């Protein structure tokens, strides 16, 4: 009897282990539903620029990158949110197509450029060379040439092999398209609707070209950074809210985000085969700024490097703005506008885990429609 019970118990244990192993297997492959995106194509401004502005305009010198492998192509002491997204998806950091030295685009490309806006309109006599519409045009050229190169290499098998550093044609429909822009646009009651029309039209170009998976960041609380805080204190009539933010500027950011979310809903209805995720970057950054000390940071209105809007560049007086603090990990803000690596890591944690996304889906599962 005892031996029979032992055999029965061993059988039950074996069955339990098999089921548990099967459940764990599903949890890893089907349960977690990791999309295994083969590439990322990013569009945006300096908050996600990993080389475009540095290669095109002024090279971002040290101390930019001082906290991480001297990545001086970024407006930060280290990694940006887009870098943490790439890490989370198991992909290499993105290169900018205009940065031709030592770059590889097998797993995507970054078209974001510092100073870029959504709007292509001329404001105060100026426009941005690489606004969102131009970035999408660059991508479409990039895609077209990558596919053409792939065909050429297939047709020339007898020639010496050439390393193809561009995505395979099927990658473009399986890739994740990330967009992080809006902070440089001049939002007010007269321009915000027009700006959003341009945003929608630009996204429709990507959707019409076969892009399917989108990860769209709203704009952060620009009035809550050192630049907004310090300048508001100097401007007559400017009002700081209870958190020290430029009240009007912050309200404009919130109005833009509300309209952006509405446009995302419309695009979902118009393109049912696409999967479009809206990411509330504003809430993550605002939470960090108003609770800076709670999360181990210092004064959120102090910055580590430069003069309040530049670091590692030459100012109008031909002076290199290269002095930085020794402890950027204790600062939220790097140069008055951009965030430190430590702050970007804090925000990125909310971004990649999906807790501030609509729908609440991790970035690794953003190919699955949940709305």
Measured CA to CA, the distance from residue 275 to residue 37 in angstroms comes to 13
* Active-site residue flag, 338: yes
The larger pLDDT score, comparing residue 15 to residue 82, is at 82
Which of 229, 271, 222 has its CA nearest to residue 249? 222
* Active-site residue flag, 190: no
DSSP secondary structure of 241-253: -TTS-BHHHHHHH
DSSP secondary structure of 274-337: SEEEEE-HHHHHHHHHHTTGGGT---TT-BSBTTSS-SSSB-TTS-B---B-S-GGG-SBSSSS
Single out the catalytic residue among 77, 338, 357, 358: 338
Question: Token digits for 120?
Answer: 């292509």
Residue 193 has pLDDT above 90, yes or no: no
CB contact set of 183 (below 8 Å; sequence gap of 6+): 45, 47, 219, 220, 222
The larger pLDDT score, comparing residue 246 to residue 57, is at 246
Give the mean model confidence (pLDDT) for residues 135-159: 90
The pLDDT assigned to 261 comes to: 97
Measured CA to CA, the distance from residue 121 to residue 131 in angstroms comes to 9
Residue 333 has pLDDT above 80, yes or no: yes
Under the banding of pLDDT at 50, 70 and 90, the label for residue 281 is very high
* Active-site residue flag, 335: yes
CB contact set of 346 (below 8 Å; sequence gap of 6+): 284, 288, 295
For the chain, percent of residues with pLDDT exceeding 70: 85
Single out the catalytic residue among 45, 95, 335, 358: 335
Query: What is the pairing mode between strands 275-279 and 108-110?
Result: unpaired
Under the banding of pLDDT at 50, 70 and 90, the label for residue 160 is low
Domains along the sequence of the chain with CATH: 36-294+342-365 (3.40.50.1110)
Measured CA to CA, the distance from residue 282 to residue 180 in angstroms comes to 11
Name the strand (E) or helix (H) holding 346.
helix 341-353
Give the mean model confidence (pLDDT) for residues 299-318: 82
The larger pLDDT score, comparing residue 281 to residue 194, is at 281
Measured CA to CA, the distance from residue 339 to residue 300 in angstroms comes to 10
Question: Token digits for 169?
Answer: 């044609």
Q: What is the pLDDT of residues 1-59, one digit of tens each?
A: 444 444 444 444 433 333 333 333 333 334 469 999 999 999 999 999 999 998 988 77
Dihedral angle sign, alpha carbons of residues 303, 307, 309, 311: negative
Under the banding of pLDDT at 50, 70 and 90, the label for residue 190 is low
Under the banding of pLDDT at 50, 70 and 90, the label for residue 163 is confident
The larger pLDDT score, comparing residue 164 to residue 85, is at 85
The pLDDT assigned to 100 comes to: 78
Q: What separation in angstroms does the CA of 107 have from each of 75, 152, 227?
A: 22, 20, 35
Query: What is the pairing mode between strands 40-44 and 176-180?
Result: parallel
Measured CA to CA, the distance from residue 221 to residue 190 in angstroms comes to 20
Sheet holding 108-110, edge to edge: 108-110, 40-44, 176-180, 213-217, 275-279, 357-358
The larger pLDDT score, comparing residue 192 to residue 205, is at 205
Per the CB < 8 A criterion, the answer to whether 292 and 302 are in contact is no
The pLDDT assigned to 122 comes to: 58
The pLDDT assigned to 36 comes to: 98
Measured CA to CA, the distance from residue 251 to residue 259 in angstroms comes to 12
Under the banding of pLDDT at 50, 70 and 90, the label for residue 125 is low
Q: What is the pLDDT of residues 199-240, one digit of tens each?
A: 999 999 999 999 999 999 999 999 999 999 999 999 999 999
Question: Token digits for 251?
Answer: 């309200």
Give the mean model confidence (pLDDT) for residues 295-315: 87
Mean pLDDT of the chain: 87
What are 44's strand-pairing partners?
180
Dihedral angle sign, alpha carbons of residues 244, 246, 248, 254: negative
Residue 155 has pLDDT above 90, yes or no: no
Single out the catalytic residue among 46, 67, 72, 357: 46
Burial of 318 (0-12, 13-18, 19+ CB in 10 A): exposed
């Amino acid at each position: 009897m005892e031996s029979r019970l032992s055999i029965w118990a061993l059988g039950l244990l074996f069955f339990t282990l098999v089921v548990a192993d099967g459940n764990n297997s599903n949890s890893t492959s089907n349960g977690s539903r990791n999309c295994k995106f083969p590439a990322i194509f990013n569009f945006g401004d300096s908050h996600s620029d990993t080389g475009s502005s540095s290669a095109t305009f002024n090279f971002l010198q040290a101390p930019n990158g001082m906290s991480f492998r001297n990545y001086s192509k970024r407006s930060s002491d280290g990694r940006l949110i887009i870098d943490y997204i790439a890490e989370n998806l198991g992909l290499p950091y993105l290169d900018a197509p205009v940065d031709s030295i030592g770059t590889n685009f097998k797993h995507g490309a970054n078209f974001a450029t510092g100073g870029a806006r959504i709007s292509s309109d001329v404001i105060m006599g100026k426009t941005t060379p690489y606004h969102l519409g131009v970035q999408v045009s660059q991508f479409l050229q990039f895609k077209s040439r990558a596919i053409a190169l792939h065909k050429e290499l297939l047709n020339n098998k007898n020639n010496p092999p050439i390393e193809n550093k561009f995505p395979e044609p099927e990658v473009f429909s399986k890739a994740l398209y990330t967009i992080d822009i809006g902070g440089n646009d001049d939002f007010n009651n007269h321009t915000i609707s027009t700006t959003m029309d341009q945003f929608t039209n630009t996204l429709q170009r990507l959707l019409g070209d076969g892009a399917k998976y989108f990860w769209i960041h709203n704009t952060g609380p620009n009035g809550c950074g050192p630049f907004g805080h310090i300048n508001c204190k100097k401007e007559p009539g400017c009002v700081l809210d209870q958190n020290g933010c430029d009240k009007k500027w912050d309200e404009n950011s919130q109005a833009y985000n509300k309209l952006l979310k509405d446009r995302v809903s419309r695009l979902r209805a118009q393109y049912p085969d696409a999967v479009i995720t809206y990411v509330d970057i504003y809430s993550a950054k605002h939470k960090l700024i108003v609770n800076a000390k709670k999360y181990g940071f210092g004064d959120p209105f102090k910055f580590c490097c430069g003069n309040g809007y530049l670091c590692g560049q030459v100012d109008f007086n031909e002076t290199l703005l290269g002095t930085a603090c020794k402890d950027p990990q204790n600062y939220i803000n790097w140069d008055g506008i951009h965030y430190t690596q430590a702050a970007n890591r804090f925000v990125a944690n909310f971004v990649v885990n999906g807790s501030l996304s609509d729908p609440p889906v991790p970035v690794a599962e953003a190919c699955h429609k949940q709305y």
